[in-house]
Structure 1
Amino acid sequence: MPKVIFLPHEELCPEGAVVEAREGETLLDIALENGIGVEHACEKSCACVTCHMIVREGFDSLEESDELEDDMLDKAWGLEQESRLGCQAVISDEDLVVEIPKYTINLASENH
C-alpha cells in the first residue's frame, strides 16, 4: 500500500501526517478520510481550485492532468510545476510527499 506524507500545514495538520492510501483514491479523498480538512468548494468536480496541492515527491507516478484540470490550476494561488488538484490526482502504487498551500482563492471557508 502506498503512503502519502502530508507536510505540516499551520491550520490543517500542524504536525504533518503519514497515511496509508489505496491505489485509485484521490489525494483529496485520502486527506479527508484522515481528518485533514482540505477545502473542496466544488464538491470534487474540478470546477474550482480550493483543493490545490503540490506533490513534492512522486509527482511522475500520477496520471497526467487533463486540459480542464490544467485550466483550473492556472487560477491557483502559488501554482508550481508539480501542482495538482487533490480531487483529480489519483494515487498509483508509489509513495507521495504532498504540500497543501497556505492559501486558496476561496474567500469564504465552506467547512465541509
Structure 2
Amino acid sequence: MPVIRILPHATLCPEGGSIQAPAGTSLCEALLENGIAIEHACDMSSACTTCHVVVKEGFNSLGEMDESEEDLLDRAWGLAPTSRLSCQAILSNQDVTIEIPKYTINHARENH
C-alpha cells in the first residue's frame, strides 16, 4: 500500500504525518479517512478548489489530470506546478509527499 506523507500544516496536521491508503483511493478520501480534515466544500465533485494540495514527491504517479481540474486549479490559492485537487488525485502504488496550503478560497470554512 502506498504511503502519503503530509508536511506539517498549522491546523490540520501540525506535526505532519504518514498514512497508508490503497491504490485507487483519492488523496482527499485517504486524508479524511485518517482524521485529517482537509476542506472539500463541493463534497469531492471537482467543483471547487478547497481540497487543493501541492505534491512535493510522487506527482507523476498520480492519475492524470483532466481539463476541468486544470481549469479549476487556476483559482487555487498558492498554485504551484505540482498542484492537484486532492479529490481528483488518485493514488497508484507509489508513495507521495504532499503539502496542504495554508489558505483556501473558502473564506467561511465549513466544519466537515
| Interval containing the TM-score (normalised by the shorter chain) | over 0.9
Counterpart for residue 25 of structure 1: 25
**Residue 59 (structure 1) shift:** 0.2
* SS, match of residue 35 in structure 2: coil
Q: How many residues align?
A: 112
Structure 1's unaligned 5+ residue stretches are none
Q: Deviations over 1:50-87 (max 9, x none)?
A: 00000100001012200000010000001000000000
Map of 1:3 onto structure 2: 3
1:23 Cα deviation from its structure 2 partner = 0.3
Quote the offset at 1:107 in angstroms.
Answer: 1.1
1:93 match: 93
Show CA shifts across 1:10-63 (max 9, x none): 000001110111000000001101111100000000000000000100001012
> In the alignment, which residue of structure 2 is the partner of 1:84?
84
Give the TM-score of the pair, scaled to structure 2. 0.98
Q: Structure 1 counterpart of 2:105, which letter? A: I
Percent of counterpart pairs with the same letter? 58
CA distance in 1, matches of 2:23, 2:108: 32
For 1:62, give the aligned amino acid: L
Within 5 Å, give how 1:23-102 maps onto structure 2: 23-102=23-102
Normalised by the length of structure 1, the TM-score is 0.98
- Superposition CA RMSD, Å: 0.5
